[in-house]
Amino acid sequence: MIETVLLDRVIEISFNEIKKKEYGIIRLHKVYKGKYKEILRSDNMANIVPSLWFGDNNCEEAIEYYLQVFPNSHLESIEYYPDEKIDEHFNGMAGKVITAVFYLNGEKFIALDGGPYFHFNEAISFTVECKDQEEIDYYWEKLSHVPEAEQCGWVKDQFGLSWQIVPENMGELLKTESQIQSMMQMKKIIIRDLEAAN
């Protein structure tokens, strides 16, 4: 009830006023993540949305898989390549995805089938911050499909996309040299081993 009253009050005041008052901004963000982001977003600020180019033309398969893996996820829209005769770049792309918009755990993504000109690599990855070891184990099992790519919480899925599966308090678990050394020997992050290394 108190949090609901606070949120109603936040809606009524400006962001500058929020900064001057003790409304527990971090706490509100955790409780009302989606609504709170809308409140703080400036009309002059552009959204930053990851866009994924699937070089193996398996975009739709990948999206369907990710929607099963992550909670609070859905496909918003999907469009397919038009007639190949329209442009030479469309040759061989009939039935493939030219634009898809989807959400994973509430975060917006855009994706397409682009052909073999570009492929994912480890220079870009998505970090999954997990609340406990059970979550780490779950996402590790779902997203690690290339054993040789496993290192220090990093995995690569069957579509070539890299992920970092880590505890949400990773910084607190790497405060000592012994903890860092322990982590460097790991593939999947084991929270209890990092705690024991402290």
DSSP annotation string for 4-47 = HHHHHHHHHS-HHHHHHS---HHHHHHHSHHHHHHHH--TTPPP
In the prediction, which pLDDT does 10 show? 42
Name the residue with tokens 């499909």.
145
In the prediction, which pLDDT does 17 show? 45
In the prediction, which pLDDT does 42 show? 54
d(CA 107, CA 153): 21
In the prediction, which pLDDT does 89 show? 87
Query: pTM higher than 0.85, yes or no?
Result: no
DSSP 8-class letter at 144 = -
Asked if 165 contacts 143 with a C-beta cutoff of 8 angstroms, the reply is yes
The Cβ-side half-sphere exposure at 23, using a 13 Å CA radius, reads 25
Q: Over its length of 198 residues, how does the chain's per-residue pLDDT go in tens digits?
A: 444 444 444 444 444 444 444 434 333 333 344 444 444 455 667 899 999 999 999 999 999 999 999 999 999 999 999 999 899 889 999 999 999 999 999 999 999 999 999 999 999 999 999 999 999 999 999 999 999 999 999 999 999 999 999 999 999 999 999 999 999 999 999 999 999 999
3-state DSSP assignment of residue 163: strand
